[in-house]
Chains A and B, each alone.
Chain A
Amino acid sequence: MNAKEDMQDIYLDYAAATPVDPRVLEAMLPFFTDQFENPSAPYARARKAKQTLEGARASLAHAIGAKPASITFTAGATEANNLAFAAVEGPVLIDAIEHDSIRAVATSREHGIVPVETDGRVSAESLANAITPETELVSIALANGEIGTVQPIAELSRVVSTEREQRLSEGNTTPIYLHTDASQAPCTLSVNVSSLGVDLMTLSAAKISGPKQVGLLWAREGIALAPLVRGGGQEHGLRSGTENVAGVVGFAKAMELAEADRKNESKRLRALRNLMQARLTSAFPDAVVSGPRKDSQRLDTLLHISFPGVEARRLVIALDQRGVSVGTGSACAASKMRISPVLTAIGLDENTANGSLRITLGHASTQDEVEQACNIIEDVVAREYERVEKRGGRA
């Protein structure tokens, strides 16, 4: 660790946070100083701010194939997820690998949990089995941020539609909605609400090279949202508080760039991810890669790899000491001393789960970086296995 001259600085935790793109920052800057007005104020300058806000909303609506009026801006994805759940009062249903911001909300009320396959996918059949006549909201993330599973949302939405039609025919007026947290998706996957067939969708600027604490909830027309933050009645009374004009301008710009780069980036990052996977699994044949096998069912930017018998907590520290930043799972799970519930849900044994790294790529990742990171990871993991083996001989 004292070889400072060899010190790298390689960031591989884009699923946790992304750097703001310089073009996004540039778009945002005027709204901190020159055009700072409160969009609700009555004078001309403020009306311009209001126009800017609505322009950003329209741009984001366009990107997801929705009407601007159906978008509510929030301070990030966690709040948008909370807002989605507040739309219904009855039982909710989530899958077993949801992010804390979904799990914590769902488990605080009457809820069901749909099991997932060992690759993290929710099957149409298990979803159909888990829905009860009382279920009012189903929430399934489009792409999982820990193991990278991309859910067959369009297929699952048909299960929800079938249930809805069934209720209509039986005269059951209980609504049922499908919500998806698509925060991890936009850089590599389409987030068009019509093709996904969802009723509510969460997006976050922070995961797509935009600012943190800026997110949105889209809700199909006819869904009555209930506010969690009350006050001056901004966002149609659904989210009070002076609008974050700079933030949503950045969000819109980031989404525009994600859309434009999506095709190239998904191809490029998938190749880099697969290169990394190939190198690490050939160096460590016992390593376990989690998530679906098929590229089309995985987030292109994510590699979840476990080295059974070593402690990922130590690997993360040792990698950090060599200048490589990676995660062990969702940031929340990493700060506590417990195995991630996501890994338990996919049936990973404790020994394997404890040795799990979540490596995520992003816009700034290069092949050179990935190869250097592989060298360092291979070295660090090999040393740790060596150490564990030596220790085993002693005990």
Chain B
Amino acid sequence: MSERVIVGMSGGVDSSLAAALLVEQGYDVLGVYMRNWTADLPGFECPWAQDLADAERVAVALGIDLEVWDYEEQYKREVVDYLLDCYKHGITPNPDVMCNEKIKFGTFADAAFDYGADFIATGHYARAVPGTPRLFRAKDEHKDQTYFLWRVPGSILARTLFPIGEIENKAIVREMAADRGFETASKKDSTGICFIGDISIRQFLLAELKPEAGDIVEWETGKVLGHHDGAFLYTLGQRKGLDLGGGPARYVVKTDAENNVVYVSADRNCPLLWTNELHLADARWVAGNAPSSADYLVRTRHTRKLEEAHISAGDTMAGVTFSVPHETVARGQSVTIYQGDECLGGGIVESCR
């Protein structure tokens, strides 16, 4: 009897190929399309029906079943409400981190194992080793998604397959999908946040949170330079979208959600933009226990390169010390910690110093 894998299929190229590889490796595969909550506001279009149809075409070609599991309610509660609550309080969250922890490797994984799956699988760019509570970066360093997976418990990772994480790069993924006749081979990568489709997070926040006019103030002088529709729309370090009508480029150096004020500076060297030390709260360690304090590699943004830093780790918190000043990281953002290829865990930025 072959081992049973339940693979999350989104209709995209990565999970399509993941499902195909599992079938080819001889697993007994069931595809599941996870239906998440989608914004239903005028002009918002989330193409989930099209995505489901794409997943279905692949499932039929592979001769596997595809079921639709409905996580609309959980997703709304665990991801969307969390995101809105964070923004309301001037915190910039990573909704994908929450989605992975709570939905894909939470509710979905539990349901899959209850359903008799030996493993779950997804199209993520990451690597795991069956039977061990460990997480490794994908072979494709450029696409690596461990930055979004650090909160997944090791016990789940031990029963997770990431077939795509073993492939050199995305071009090869597309080629392999095309070789198998999948129309999803040339589908464009999803960008932005899945539940609002192509709409920007700014438009979504404006629709969901109460816009309230406030001042944009120059940090050094206290001079009011312009106005905004809500401090929740701005993130530390942001340069675009300030709409101050000319003048030098300015950076958001601080947002005050309580008083609805956004502080900016034209000075790239403004002390608020730089930090030597990040304090991480709500830390999680893949193996279950904190690593010993030492120098490790960290990532402070999905698309940012790995950097060296000294980590002093506790069970639920961590301090990150850089040897040279580092750009500040907004409150609520994830920082992931690596030893070589292995992702040890991470935390959520609470403050910078």
Residues of A within 8 A of B (CB): 1-2, 313-314, 317-318, 321, 335-337, 383, 387, 391, 394
Q: Name the contact of B56 in the complex, choosing from A1, A314, A387, A394 (C-beta under 8 A).
A: A314
Note all chain B residues with C-beta closer than 8 A to A1.
61, 181
Contact residues of B between 51 and 71, Cβ < 8 Å to A = 56-57, 59-61, 63, 65, 68
A-B CB pair tally, cutoff 8 Å: 24
B49 close to chain A: CB less than 8 A: yes
* Given the contacts A2-B181, A335-B49, A321 and B28 also touching, CB distance less than 8 Å: no
Note all chain A residues with C-beta closer than 8 A to B68.
337
> How many angstroms from the CA of A184 to the CA of B57 in the assembled complex?
30
Note all chain B residues with C-beta closer than 8 A to A321.
57, 60-61
| Interchain CB contact under 8 A, A387 and B63 | yes
Residues of B within 8 A of A (CB): 28, 49, 56-57, 59-61, 63, 65, 68, 180-181
> How many angstroms from the CA of A2 to the CA of B181 in the assembled complex?
7
Note all chain B residues with C-beta closer than 8 A to A317.
56-57, 60-61
> How many angstroms from the CA of A285 to the CA of B83 in the assembled complex?
55
Note all chain A residues with C-beta closer than 8 A to B49.
335-337
Chain A interface SS verdict (over half): helix
> How many angstroms from the CA of A314 to the CA of B59 in the assembled complex?
9
Beyond A1-B181, A313-B56, A337-B68, list 8 extra A-B contacts (CB 8 Å): A2-B180, A2-B181, A314-B59, A317-B57, A317-B61, A321-B57, A321-B61, A336-B49
Note all chain B residues with C-beta closer than 8 A to A383.
63
> How many angstroms from the CA of A1 to the CA of B61 in the assembled complex?
7
Note all chain B residues with C-beta closer than 8 A to A394.
28
Closest to B49 in A: A335
Q: What are the nearest 7 A-B pairs in CB distance?
A: A317-B60, A314-B60, A1-B61, A318-B60, A317-B57, A1-B181, A2-B181
A338 to chain B, nearest CB (A): 12
Closest to A319 in B: B60
> How many angstroms from the CA of A44 to the CA of B263 in the assembled complex?
70
Closest to A321 in B: B61
> How many angstroms from the CA of A318 to the CA of B180 in the assembled complex?
15
> How many angstroms from the CA of A318 to the CA of B59 in the assembled complex?
10
B9 to chain A, nearest CB (A): 14
Note all chain A residues with C-beta closer than 8 A to B28.
394
Note all chain B residues with C-beta closer than 8 A to A336.
49
B207 to chain A, nearest CB (A): 25
> How many angstroms from the CA of A124 to the CA of B243 in the assembled complex?
70
B118 to chain A, nearest CB (A): 13
| Interchain CB contact under 8 A, B181 and A391 | no
> How many angstroms from the CA of A27 to the CA of B84 in the assembled complex?
59
Note all chain A residues with C-beta closer than 8 A to B60.
314, 317-318, 321
Note all chain B residues with C-beta closer than 8 A to A313.
56
A389 to chain B, nearest CB (A): 13
Enumerate 16 A-B pairs (CB-CB under 8 Å) in ascending A order: A1-B61, A2-B180, A2-B181, A314-B56, A314-B60, A317-B56, A317-B57, A317-B60, A317-B61, A321-B57, A321-B61, A335-B49, A336-B49, A337-B49, A383-B63, A387-B63
Closest to A2 in B: B181
Note all chain A residues with C-beta closer than 8 A to B63.
383, 387
> How many angstroms from the CA of A2 to the CA of B56 in the assembled complex?
17
> How many angstroms from the CA of A317 to the CA of B54 in the assembled complex?
10
Closest to B1 in A: A394
> How many angstroms from the CA of A321 to the CA of B49 in the assembled complex?
19
A334 to chain B, nearest CB (A): 10
A328 to chain B, nearest CB (A): 12
B44 to chain A, nearest CB (A): 19
Note all chain B residues with C-beta closer than 8 A to A391.
65
Note all chain A residues with C-beta closer than 8 A to B56.
313-314, 317
Closest to B62 in A: A1
Note all chain B residues with C-beta closer than 8 A to A318.
60
B45 to chain A, nearest CB (A): 14
Closest to A391 in B: B65
A122 to chain B, nearest CB (A): 33
> Which of A314, A383, A387, A391 has the largest count of B CB atoms less than 10 A from its CB?
A314
> How many angstroms from the CA of A383 to the CA of B59 in the assembled complex?
14
> How many angstroms from the CA of A184 to the CA of B65 in the assembled complex?
35
Closest to B59 in A: A314
Closest to A320 in B: B57
Closest to B60 in A: A317
Closest to A334 in B: B53
> How many angstroms from the CA of A391 to the CA of B68 in the assembled complex?
17
> How many angstroms from the CA of A383 to the CA of B61 in the assembled complex?
12
> How many angstroms from the CA of A1 to the CA of B179 in the assembled complex?
12
Note all chain B residues with C-beta closer than 8 A to A2.
180-181
> How many angstroms from the CA of A126 to the CA of B180 in the assembled complex?
55
> How many angstroms from the CA of A321 to the CA of B60 in the assembled complex?
9
> How many angstroms from the CA of A318 to the CA of B181 in the assembled complex?
13
Closest to B4 in A: A394
> How many angstroms from the CA of A318 to the CA of B49 in the assembled complex?
18
> How many angstroms from the CA of A82 to the CA of B63 in the assembled complex?
43
Note all chain B residues with C-beta closer than 8 A to A337.
49, 68
Closest to B35 in A: A337
Closest to A4 in B: B181
> Which of B49, B63, B181 has the largest count of A CB atoms less than 10 A from its CB?
B63
Closest to B183 in A: A321
Note all chain A residues with C-beta closer than 8 A to B65.
391
> How many angstroms from the CA of A108 to the CA of B127 in the assembled complex?
54
A317 to chain B, nearest CB (A): 4
> How many angstroms from the CA of A317 to the CA of B60 in the assembled complex?
7
A4 to chain B, nearest CB (A): 9
A254 to chain B, nearest CB (A): 32
Closest to B182 in A: A1
Note all chain A residues with C-beta closer than 8 A to B181.
1-2
Note all chain B residues with C-beta closer than 8 A to A387.
63
> How many angstroms from the CA of A317 to the CA of B65 in the assembled complex?
13
> How many angstroms from the CA of A335 to the CA of B180 in the assembled complex?
26
> How many angstroms from the CA of A115 to the CA of B59 in the assembled complex?
38
> How many angstroms from the CA of A383 to the CA of B62 in the assembled complex?
12
> Which of A1, A335, A387 has the largest count of B CB atoms less than 10 A from its CB?
A1
Closest to B63 in A: A387
> How many angstroms from the CA of A317 to the CA of B61 in the assembled complex?
8
> Which of B60, B61, B181 has the largest count of A CB atoms less than 10 A from its CB?
B60
B29 to chain A, nearest CB (A): 11
> How many angstroms from the CA of A69 to the CA of B65 in the assembled complex?
57
Closest to B52 in A: A337
> How many angstroms from the CA of A321 to the CA of B63 in the assembled complex?
12
> How many angstroms from the CA of A391 to the CA of B59 in the assembled complex?
14
> How many angstroms from the CA of A318 to the CA of B61 in the assembled complex?
7
Note all chain A residues with C-beta closer than 8 A to B180.
2
